[in-house]
């Protein structure tokens, strides 16, 4: 599969959650950044695990790297509000 096909396996939100996981943000931090509940993030994580056919976060990150889903941190986040929050948190 090529990179654009692989990325289309995940929704935009799932891709963002995956990228944040790869940069070591906790589920709670991700939930706060996206203004959703922790349960919503757990649901996204479960969906990502299923769609990527992996068992854990390490597998998600490995698969995302293999498929070219993980980019430089500066290029990942299109949402300016989120970029600002991440810069302040990081």
b/e code 41-77 from CB counts within 10 Å (16+ = b): beebbeebbebbebeebeebbebbeebebbeeeeebb
* Residue-averaged pLDDT of the chain: 81
For the whole prediction, is pTM greater than 0.85? no
Domains contained in the chain, number: 1
User: Does 28 have pLDDT greater than 70?
Assistant: yes
Q: Supply φ then ψ for residue 64, to 5 degrees.
A: -65, -40
pLDDT tier at 3, thresholds 50, 70, 90: very low
**45: domain range?**
3-89
Which CATH number belongs to the domain containing residue 75 in this structure? 1.10.10.10
């Amino acid at each position: 599969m090529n990179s654009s096909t692989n990325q289309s396996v995940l929704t935009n939100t799932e891709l963002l959650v995956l990228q944040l996981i790869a940069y070591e943000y906790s589920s709670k931090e991700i939930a706060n950044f996206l203004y959703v509940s922790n349960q919503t993030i757990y649901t996204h994580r479960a969906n990502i695990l299923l769609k990527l056919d992996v068992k854990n976060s390490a597998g998600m990150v490995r698969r995302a790297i293999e498929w070219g889903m993980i980019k430089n941190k500066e290029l990942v986040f299109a949402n300016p509000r989120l970029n600002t929050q991440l810069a302040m948190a990081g």
